[in-house]
Amino acid sequence: MENSYIQMAEQALLHTYNRYQIVLEKGEGVYLYDSEGKQYLDFAAGIAVCSLGYGHPRYKEALKRQIDRLTHTSNLFYSIPTAKAAQSLKEAAQMDRVFFTNSGTEAIEGALKAARKYAYTKGSGKYEFIAMNHSFHGRSMGAVAVTGTDKYRTPFEPLIGGVKFAEFNDLESVKAQITDKTCAIILEPIQGEGGIYPATAEFLSGLRKLCDAHDILLIFDEIQCGMGRCGSMFAWQGYGVKPDILTMAKAIGNGVPVGAFAMTEKVAESSLAPGDHGTTYGGNPFVCAAVEEVLQIFKEEHILEHVQEVSAYMEEKLEQLVLESACIEARRGKGLMQGLVLTKPVGDVIRAAMEEGLIVISAGGNVLRLVPPLTIEKCHVDEMVEKLKKVLNK
Ligand SMILES: *Cc1c(COP(=O)(O)O)cnc(C)c1O
């Protein structure tokens, strides 16, 4: 049965993914089940999206309620869920203005446009972006232009101009790229796809000072590392270095397609104005009902405290695993965004883990990426480690 759906998909879908030969059918808590009933412990969360796991009762109810009322209005009107979600998200992110998008890449496009518009309004003549090597910001043309990995860029050139690249965690290399035309610096506080590299606190605070000194906007892409994954609501709060523009997506809707970019009032008052930017679906009542419920659940179920506790336990267990296993070179990460640098090909390990009933994914540089639902308990960490040990010792 499984095979016939795989065939159907392969004949109809554009072949842009080499998918695992599994048809996922349902989820419960932190477990997924395929169409043959096999159970998987999920340490991927649909790429850091399903932070509350699967089938959270309050989340499901909120979505059902909103479907019965109204799912879409366009942004020509107001809606109650959109107003509430914007208010809650700006509080959680400690930003002043929010724009909802349908995806992460669109949040990046919006952030880049906002930065260019800010420079334009100020009449500064600035337009250049500095981005980081090994960054990942999405697949649309603007996002690809600031993504520092050649294989994502080369087939699509020429990309938007005025982008320079610097070395992550190397302040001097950023300084070397600054000109009187630099309008913004964009980076992920913890690089995800590039291989789970957390920024150092000195790097981020150094960037903040550079930006302040040269009237450059600092853009943090927290599409993957934000929304509680690193133990604070947004990673910047853990570092204490506030960006001017913040991008979010993945976990903010726990699985409905929604992203956002947010900015401080200082940026907003000189940036995008009526007519400059828009979206038909973005922030519709359905997805915003999800965002609002997710943010309420975070508060009421003390998700951040839980992440801090369970991630400390996971780090300890992973450190042990690094010591015990010859196939792991190192561990990197923050909170529940962890990477293991492997000496065996990571693809082989992932496939063997799936056989064992554990879903994990990869990141750049032969890294095994662990981004589980934030609701995992210590027993799930133990189960993951047991399964991984079996696979690595094979
Ligand atoms: C996933 C991701 C994106 C792109 O998000 P999409 O929703 O796939 O467009 C951008 N930046 C980072 C850091 C990401 O992890």
| Domain co-membership, 197 together with 293 | yes
Cα(105) to ligand 1 centroid in Å equals 6
Could you report the per-residue pLDDT of 321-361, keeping only the tens digit for each?
999 999 999 999 999 999 999 999 999 999 999 999 999 99
Question: Contact, 45 vs 373, CB < 8 A?
Answer: yes
Which backbone phi and psi does 47 adopt, to 5 degrees? 65, 65
Question: Contact, 111 vs 247, CB < 8 A?
Answer: yes
State if residue 221 touches ligand 1 by the CB under 6 angstroms criterion: yes
Q: Could you tell me if residue 106 is inside a domain?
A: yes
Q: 278, 300, 322: which is the final residue of a domain? A: 300
| Domain co-membership, 149 together with 272 | yes
State if residue 191 touches ligand 1 by the CB under 6 angstroms criterion: no
Q: Could you tell me if residue 62 is inside a domain?
A: no
Pocket test for ligand 1, best of 16, 105, 281, 337 (most atoms within 8 A of CB): 105
pLDDT value, residue 206 = 98
Count CB-CB contacts under 10 A for residue 101.
26
CATH code, domain carrying 9: 3.90.1150.10
| Domain co-membership, 277 together with 168 | yes
Eight-state DSSP code of residue 333 = E
Q: 269, 300, 331: which is the final residue of a domain? A: 300
pLDDT value, residue 151 = 93
Count CB-CB contacts under 10 A for residue 381.
22
Query: pLDDT-derived band of residue 1, with 50, 70 and 90 as boundaries?
Result: low
**Side-by-side strand order, sheet with 358-359:** 24-28, 31-34, 39-42, 358-359
pLDDT value, residue 240 = 98
Whose CA is closest to 49, among 219, 205, 254? 254
| Average of per-residue pLDDT across 236-246 | 98
Q: Mean pLDDT across the chain, nearest whole number?
A: 97
State if residue 109 touches ligand 1 by the CB under 6 angstroms criterion: no
Count CB-CB contacts under 10 A for residue 247.
30
Token code pair at residue 326: 């010859």
Pocket test for ligand 1, best of 136, 196, 219, 234 (most atoms within 8 A of CB): 136
pLDDT surpassing 60 at residue 48: yes
State if residue 101 touches ligand 1 by the CB under 6 angstroms criterion: no
State if residue 188 touches ligand 1 by the CB under 6 angstroms criterion: yes
Cα(98) to ligand 1 centroid in Å equals 18
Which residue range forms the structural domain that includes residue 142?
Answer: 70-300
pLDDT surpassing 90 at residue 34: yes
State if residue 147 touches ligand 1 by the CB under 6 angstroms criterion: no
Q: Which residues of 66-95 are buried (b: 16+ CB within 10 A; e: fewer)?
A: beeeeeeeebeeebebbebbbebbbebbeb
| Domain co-membership, 319 together with 260 | no
| Domain co-membership, 269 together with 328 | no
Q: What atom of ligand 1 comes closest to residue 108's alpha carbon?
A: 10
| Domain co-membership, 46 together with 9 | yes
d(Cα 271, Cα 266) in Å, to the nearest integer? 9
Could you report the per-residue pLDDT of 79-90, keeping only the tens digit for each?
999 999 999 999
Could you report the per-residue pLDDT of 263-317, keeping only the tens digit for each?
999 999 999 999 999 999 999 999 999 999 999 999 999 999 999 999 999 999 9
pLDDT value, residue 70 = 98
Q: What atom of ligand 1 comes closest to residue 135's alpha carbon?
A: 13
| Domain co-membership, 103 together with 147 | yes
| Domain co-membership, 118 together with 190 | yes
Token code pair at residue 151: 């294989």
d(Cα 360, Cα 77) in Å, to the nearest integer? 42
Q: What's the total number of domains in the chain? A: 2
Q: Could you tell me if residue 382 is inside a domain?
A: yes
Q: Could you tell me if residue 63 is inside a domain?
A: no
d(Cα 56, Cα 254) in Å, to the nearest integer? 10
Query: pLDDT-derived band of residue 106, with 50, 70 and 90 as boundaries?
Result: very high
Q: Please give the model's pTM, rounded to 2 decimal places.
A: 0.98
Cα(57) to ligand 1 centroid in Å equals 27
pLDDT value, residue 3 = 84
Quote the crossing angle between the two packed helices 303-324 and 285-300, to the nearest 10°: 80
For ligand 1, atom 15, the nearest C-alpha belongs to: 224
Q: Could you tell me if residue 20 is inside a domain?
A: yes
| Domain co-membership, 333 together with 309 | yes
Count CB-CB contacts under 10 A for residue 312.
12
pLDDT value, residue 65 = 98
Q: Could you tell me if residue 61 is inside a domain?
A: no
CB proximity list for 157: less than 8 A, separation 6 or greater? none
CATH code, domain carrying 85: 3.40.640.10
State if residue 31 touches ligand 1 by the CB under 6 angstroms criterion: no
Q: Could you tell me if residue 308 is inside a domain?
A: yes
Burial class for 147, CB neighbours closer than 10 Å (0-12, 13-18, 19+): buried
| Domain co-membership, 51 together with 80 | no
pLDDT value, residue 280 = 97
| Domain co-membership, 282 together with 168 | yes
- Residues above pLDDT 70, as percent of the chain: 99
Question: Contact, 347 vs 366, CB < 8 A?
Answer: no
Q: What atom of ligand 1 comes closest to residue 259's alpha carbon?
A: 7
- Residues above pLDDT 90, as percent of the chain: 99
| Average of per-residue pLDDT across 208-223 | 98
Eight-state DSSP code of residue 199 = P
Question: Contact, 352 vs 11, CB < 8 A?
Answer: no
pLDDT value, residue 394 = 81
pLDDT surpassing 70 at residue 2: no
| Domain co-membership, 83 together with 210 | yes
Q: Could you tell me if residue 136 is inside a domain?
A: yes
Which backbone phi and psi does 137 adopt, to 5 degrees? -130, 5
Q: 255, 284, 300: which is the final residue of a domain? A: 300
Q: What atom of ligand 1 comes closest to residue 250's alpha carbon?
A: 7
Could you report the per-residue pLDDT of 7-31, keeping only the tens digit for each?
999 999 999 999 999 999 999 999 9
